[in-house]
Structure 1
Amino acid sequence: MGISINDITVKKALGTWKPNMYLSNMSLAYFAQGEYAARNLFPVCPVGLSSSYYYTFSKGDLARDNVQRKPAYGSVTPATMGMTDNTYSCSVDQILVGIDKIMTLDYQRSSAPGSIDPRRVKVRFLAEQMNIHQDIIFAKNFFKAGVWKNEWTGAAVADAAQKKFLRFDDANCDPVELFDGLINDIRRVGRRKPNKLALGVEVFAKLKLNPFIMERVKYTGTTANPAIVTEQVLAQLFGVEQVVVLDSTYNAAGAGQDENMQYICDGKSALLCYTTSSPQIDEPSAGYIFAWDMLGNGQYIATSQFDGPPAEHTEFIEGLIATDMKKTSDDLAVFLKDCVG
């Protein structure tokens, strides 16, 4: 119901009438349009307890030829299938957003546009915050130097013995040859072919201009549809199922400070890895996102709405998340830093 003439008269008398009406078809809200990285790379593993154990079977025992010649009138020594256990621990993070019930009345009674509806916009704000938070945890736990045992560094001179490769913006660098070698190494040691490649934004930009890659795709285009290098094209060239560009952003400044917009993940790095599409009891994965339903409702990201103290006339929207993003196999990943100059 719209605001009436009588309402306007009363508001004028009280000195609270604001004659400026908002546009109903637009607003400025910098919600991200792209996809976030965390859930695109590593599978979410729901867990029933906030912290517990999981088994790791011995790769050496599984990969060894344990079949022996049977001796006459006897039997061979039983094969060993060793295992160890590791732990995870999901901590609960929270965000609260307040709604002033008194201020909300003006929007309700004046038929204000949906873009400024306090509940609608703050629920979306909360969801955006959860996505940013997960990607920040992802960057700290998976996408930085010093995390993975197998780490290579871009340099002006390649040296495989020192795990150095030519940077992708070097005209002499052939990224396809590099990734072929890294994929073969992971497949030999980890017994799985890597299926995902995560790229920082600067790495992706330089790969699209790399002369060796351009040479491979230049004959695939036409005048109407020129050859371009996309994530799908790179996935085909490198022999992986998916290439993910880590382009989510956040404000690195604190409240009250000037904005400092940054990419969440290091733009000069890349991660090649093998992960499962979903948790498997008998399948390895470079990493997992252990997720605990802290409210017992099956949701590891939970939202709720509740009233504040009566005299404050407020409502609160709450967001909860409980995860542990954990590296589970060094053998199934290689991290590349300083990929571009």
Structure 2
Amino acid sequence: MPTLDTLHVDEALTNISIAYRNEAFVADQLLPVVPVQKRRDIYFKFSKQHFVAEDDTYYPGSHAKRIEVDLEKRGYYDAHGHALEAIIPDEFRENADPGAQIDIEFTEKLAQKIALKQEVNASALLAAANVPNNTTLSGTSQWSDYTDSDPVTVVDQAKETIQQLIGVVPNSLFLPRPVFRTLRNHPRIIDRVKYTGLGARKALTGDDLAEVFEVDRVVVPQVIQSTAHVGQTDTLSYVYGKLALLFYVPKNPGLRTPSFGYTFVWKTGYQVKRYREEGTDADIIKVKKWYDLKVVEANAAYLWLSAVA
């Protein structure tokens, strides 16, 4: 086992792990990152108190009506550790090509593995049990039915549902690749843009769909994972499947700013440690991250399961 004398935080590799980013990963767009100083603490949820029209009548010489101004509902986060390590035998270094940056390569691969698991964990939150405003589509209601489905109208109705629950209009649409591909070719959507500048494009982009659905952004996750065990034939699938999510996230995330969800990250995110293991004549690189993925306000979203066939 390494001792405190031989195990230390490698700042250079830590910076590399923090900077590493696979563009396919989108968990922090679904659940924005909130850096926290404590591993466990409270956060605030939406309160309908802010939409109460108070009696603010005032007379000269009288006291103004005093009210409580706060986010009255609270929740708790608990950042858990996630870590992986890899061994670099001396023989591996000796056999490497000149200029090979083995430590960097291993650090990035470990960071990617941890990030992939974070995406899988985020996808698990997008279930009917966590998002009470939900519909499972089937048959002609699925958006892949180009004859009967009308996704823009359906999303507009969901916006009103959310606004009446939290007082804020949802501003983001989460469309995994299979759903995005279906919508960009949907005849009703093409018909809406054919006489605009968007209609001249060969293919609609995420920004184009954001304009059509009148949201600030469309997030298109393209994360792939293999569900096969070692030695089995690879079975690759989209992590987020064929769902769709309309949700609200603030422009400036924070503990006192309500949102559909957050990623509470402790200790600045990734941390990389490197130590020597003489018994195996090898160096060990360990990448660690503390976070908690949390649905903060379940009513700030609308979920469609099986959005396309």
- Does 2:283 match 1:307? no
The normalised TM-score by structure 1 is: 0.76
Q: What is the CA–CA distance in structure 1 between the aligned matches of 2:198 and 2:179, rounded to whole Å? A: 26
Give the equivalent residue in structure 2 for 1:195.
Answer: 171
Aligned pair count reads 288
Give the equivalent residue in structure 1 for 2:291.
Answer: 323
Is the partner of 2:219 in helix, strand or coil?
A: strand
Q: What is the CA–CA distance in structure 2 between the aligned matches of 1:325 and 1:173, rounded to whole Å? A: 33
- Does 2:184 match 1:208? yes
Give the equivalent residue in structure 1 for 2:10.
Answer: none
Is the partner of 2:188 in helix, strand or coil?
A: helix
- Does 2:240 match 1:257? no
Kept in 1: contact 2:90–2:281 (CA 8 A): yes
Is the partner of 1:139 in helix, strand or coil?
A: helix
**Any idea what the Cα deviations from partners look like across 1:308-327, whole Å, max 9, x if unmatched?**
1x231100111101111101
Match of 2:292, as an amino acid? D
**Any idea what the Cα deviations from partners look like across 1:198-247, whole Å, max 9, x if unmatched?**
11222112112211011122334699x64422111100000111111121
Kept in 2: contact 1:37–1:135 (CA 8 A): yes
Kept in 2: contact 1:42–1:276 (CA 8 A): no
Match of 1:276, as an amino acid? P
Kept in 2: contact 1:194–1:333 (CA 8 A): yes
> Following superposition of structure 1 onto structure 2, how do residues 99-110 of structure 1 map, counting pairs within 5 Å?
99-107=88-96
Q: What is the CA–CA distance in structure 2 between the aligned matches of 1:42 and 1:62, rounded to whole Å? A: 24
Give the equivalent residue in structure 1 for 2:223.
Answer: 248
Kept in 2: contact 1:34–1:248 (CA 8 A): no
- Does 2:151 match 1:183? no
**Alpha-carbon deviation of 1:78?**
4.5
Give the equivalent residue in structure 2 for 1:51.
Answer: 40
Task: Calculate the aligned-residue CA RMSD, in Å.
Answer: 2.7
Give the equivalent residue in structure 2 for 1:134.
Answer: 118
Kept in 2: contact 1:45–1:278 (CA 8 A): no
Question: Unpaired runs of 5+ in structure 1?
Answer: 1-30, 158-165, 294-298
Kept in 2: contact 1:217–1:229 (CA 8 A): no
Q: What is the CA–CA distance in structure 2 between the aligned matches of 1:257 and 1:173, rounded to whole Å? A: 39
Q: What is the CA–CA distance in structure 2 between the aligned matches of 1:90 and 1:281, rounded to whole Å? A: 14
TM-aligned CA distance change 1:40 to 1:80, over 3 Å: closer
**Any idea what the Cα deviations from partners look like across 1:67-108, whole Å, max 9, x if unmatched?**
155699976874455724321111101100110112321225
The normalised TM-score by structure 2 is: 0.83
Q: Which has the higher contact order (CA 8 A, sep 6+)?
A: 2
> Following superposition of structure 1 onto structure 2, how do residues 34-45 of structure 1 map, counting pairs within 5 Å?
34-45=23-34
> Following superposition of structure 1 onto structure 2, how do residues 1-341 of structure 1 map, counting pairs within 5 Å?
34-56=23-45, 59-67=47-55, 69=57, 78-80=66-68, 83-107=72-96, 111=98, 114=100, 117-141=101-125, 143-156=126-139, 166-170=141-145, 171-220=147-196, 226-266=201-241, 268-280=242-254, 282-293=256-267, 299-308=268-277, 310-341=278-309
**Alpha-carbon deviation of 1:63?**
1.2
Question: Unpaired runs of 5+ in structure 2?
Answer: 1-19
**Alpha-carbon deviation of 1:55?**
3.6
Kept in 2: contact 1:220–1:227 (CA 8 A): no
**Any idea what the Cα deviations from partners look like across 1:276-324, whole Å, max 9, x if unmatched?**
233235532111111111xxxxx2211122111x231100111101111
Match of 1:258, as an amino acid? T
**Alpha-carbon deviation of 1:188?**
2.8
Kept in 1: contact 2:131–2:299 (CA 8 A): no
Match of 2:159, as an amino acid? I
**Alpha-carbon deviation of 1:62?**
1.8
Match of 2:222, as an amino acid? D
Match of 1:336, as an amino acid? W
Q: What is the CA–CA distance in structure 2 between the aligned matches of 1:122 and 1:63, rounded to whole Å? A: 52
TM-aligned CA distance change 1:328 to 1:226, over 3 Å: closer
Q: What is the CA–CA distance in structure 2 between the aligned matches of 1:33 and 1:324, rounded to whole Å? A: 20
Is the partner of 2:114 in helix, strand or coil?
A: helix
**Alpha-carbon deviation of 1:254?**
2.6
Kept in 1: contact 2:44–2:255 (CA 8 A): no
Is the partner of 1:45 in helix, strand or coil?
A: strand
Match of 2:117, as an amino acid? H
